[in-house]
Amino acid sequence: MNFKDKVVIVTGGGQGIGRCIAQTFASKGAKVVIAEIDDEAGLENEEYIRKNGGEALFVHTDVALEEDVKNMVNKTIETYGKIDILINNAGIGSGGTIYTILSQ
C-alpha cells in the first residue's frame, strides 16, 4: 500500500511494536509523528527514519497527560497541516499471573 503524504501519529513510536509501525509507514511514504515519552528512543527512531529517506517528527508526549497530547496534536498540525491516521499503541505491559497483575 502507498501512504504517500499521509500524516500518521504513532504513540509509543520509539520502541518495540510502535517503532516498527512508524518505520513501516515512513517506508511507504507517510509523514510520521513519533509521540513518545522516552526522549532518547523517540529521537533515535526519528533519526533512523530520516537517515533512511523518510519523514519523521519526534514530539515528547506522555499520552496520559492532556497537555502533552494537545501539544503533540498542535505540533503535528503546525508541521504537516493535518492528521490522517492515529496508531494508539503506547502502553505498558506486565507479566505474572492474574493475581499478581491485579495486586500491582
Ligand X SMILES: NC(=O)c1ccc[n+]([C@@H]2O[C@H](COP(=O)([O-])OP(=O)(O)OC[C@H]3O[C@@H](n4cnc5c(N)ncnc54)[C@H](O)[C@@H]3O)[C@@H](O)[C@H]2O)c1
Q: Contact positions toward ligand X, by CB under 6 A? A: 11-12, 14-18, 36-38, 41, 61-64, 89-93
CB of 13 to ligand X, least distance (A): 7
Q: Which is nearer to ligand X, 29 or 69 (CB)?
A: 69
CA 90 to the chain's CA centroid? 8
Q: Which is nearer to ligand X, 30 or 41 (CB)?
A: 41
CB of 6 to ligand X, least distance (A): 21
SS3 labels along the chain: CCCCCCEEEEECCCCHHHHHHHHHHHHCCCEEEEEECCHHHHHHHHHHHHHCCCEEEEEECCCCCHHHHHHHHHHHHHHHCCCCEEECCCCCCCCCCHHHHHCC
Q: Which is nearer to ligand X, 62 or 71 (CB)?
A: 62
CB of 51 to ligand X, least distance (A): 19
CB of 101 to ligand X, least distance (A): 12
Q: Which is nearer to ligand X, 91 or 96 (CB)?
A: 91
Question: How far is it, in rounded angstroms, from Cα 84 to Cα 96?
Answer: 37
